[in-house]
Copies of this chain bind each other. A is one copy, B any other.
Amino acid sequence: MPFIKRLAIIGVGLIGGSLALALRSNGAVGEVIGIGRGEANLRRGVELGVIDRYDQDPCSGVQGADVVFLATPVCTIAGILAQIAPFLARGSVVTDGGSVKEGIVAACEPLMPEGTFFVGGHPIAGTEHSGVEAAFATLYKNRRCILTPSLRTDPTALATVEKLWETAGSDVVLMDAHKHDRILAAISHLPHMVAYSLVNAVGGYDRFDENILRYSAGGFRDFTRIASSDPVMWRDIALMNQEAVVEMIDFFADSLSNLRRLVATADSGALETFFTRSKEQRDAII
C-alpha cells in the first residue's frame, strides 16, 4: 500500500524525476503527475516511466495530490506556490528541493491555505546534467537531505516529508533554514563561484596569444567540472543566497590571501603546514 496516493511533481527534471523514480521503485507512491511547461520533456517523462501522466497547468495538475514536490528553479518556487495554493487539496503537503531555504520558507509559509502544509527541503544531490533524461532512481541513495522546518511547521507534515526522503534512500537531517543557507554557501555555492571564477581567469589569461586551457589535464578538468553547471540556476542561487555567498567569498579570499603571503615570502614551513592541514581535512571526507 503506497503511503502517498497521488504525488504531483512540478518540474520534471533531474531532481523531480529522480524522486519520482526512487519512490516508484519502492512502491511508495500510487500515481505520479508531472507538471511543467515543456510538453516534449513531459511526454518523455511518461515514456521513461518517470511519471504516469502530465498536466501543463499546475493549477489543475495539483488537484487531489496528497503531496506536491516543487522542483523548479529556486527563484520560481514561491511564485508557483502562490499560483497553485487555491487548488491544493485539504490536508496536502507541499515541499520543495531548492538549494536556498531561508527566503523560500519565509515566502512560502504565509501562502499556504488553512489545512495545507509547507515543509522546506533540500536534497544534497545532483549531477552536472539536467532534464528528465538525466533522472535516475538512486540519485538520493545515501545522500543527505536537509529539511528546514520552522516553528510553524506541522509535525505530521514534517513526518510525511521525512518518510518520503528516507524512502528515496536519503539520510534526512533537520536544520534551521538560516544555518542551512550558510552551510550550503560554504560547501556548494562557494566552490561553484570559485570554479566559475577560475575558469574565467585562466581562460582569459592572454599573455601568450593562445588559449592555455588546451594544456589542461585531468586535475584541471576534475577541479572545474562544476563550472559546467547551469548558469541560470547558479545566477539564481547566488542572488537568493546573496548575503551568505558574499560572506563565504570573503572568508575564502582571506584564506587565499594568507596562502599568497606564504608563497611570496617563501615561508616553507608554514606552506607545508597549510597544505598538510588541507590534505588531512580533505582526506577525512573521502
Write the residues of chain A forming the contact surface with B, with a CB cutoff of 8 angstroms: 124-127, 143-144, 146, 173, 179, 182-184, 186-188, 190-205, 207-208, 212-232, 234-235, 238-239, 242, 245-246, 248-260, 263-264, 266, 268, 271-272, 274-279, 281-286
B263 touches A239 (CB 8 A): yes
A275 touches B196 (CB 8 A): yes
**A205→B191 CA distance, assembly (Å):** 14
A213 touches B275 (CB 8 A): no
B217 touches A252 (CB 8 A): no
**A207→B181 CA distance, assembly (Å):** 12
B279 touches A183 (CB 8 A): no
**A101→B56 CA distance, assembly (Å):** 60
**A252→B279 CA distance, assembly (Å):** 22
Grouping DSSP codes into helix (H, G, I), strand (E, B) and loop, the A interface class, with mixed when no group exceeds half, is helix
B222 touches A271 (CB 8 A): no
B223 touches A255 (CB 8 A): no
B234 touches A199 (CB 8 A): no
B143 touches A221 (CB 8 A): no
B187 touches A202 (CB 8 A): yes
B215 touches A183 (CB 8 A): yes
Residue of B with least CB distance to A249 = B260
Give min CB distance, A146 to chain B, whole Å.
Answer: 8
Contacts of A186 in B (CB 8 A): 201-202, 205, 212
B197 touches A259 (CB 8 A): yes
Contacts of A264 in B (CB 8 A): 242, 246
Residue of B with least CB distance to A272 = B235
**A191→B124 CA distance, assembly (Å):** 25
Most-contacted residue by chain B among A182, A194, A251 (CB, 10 A)? A194
Given A196-B275, A239-B266, A278-B227: A253 and B250 interface contact (C-beta under 8 Å) = no
A276 touches B242 (CB 8 A): no
A284 touches B198 (CB 8 A): no
Residue of B with least CB distance to A245 = B263
B282 touches A235 (CB 8 A): no
Given A196-B259, A217-B124, A246-B260: A275 and B223 interface contact (C-beta under 8 Å) = no
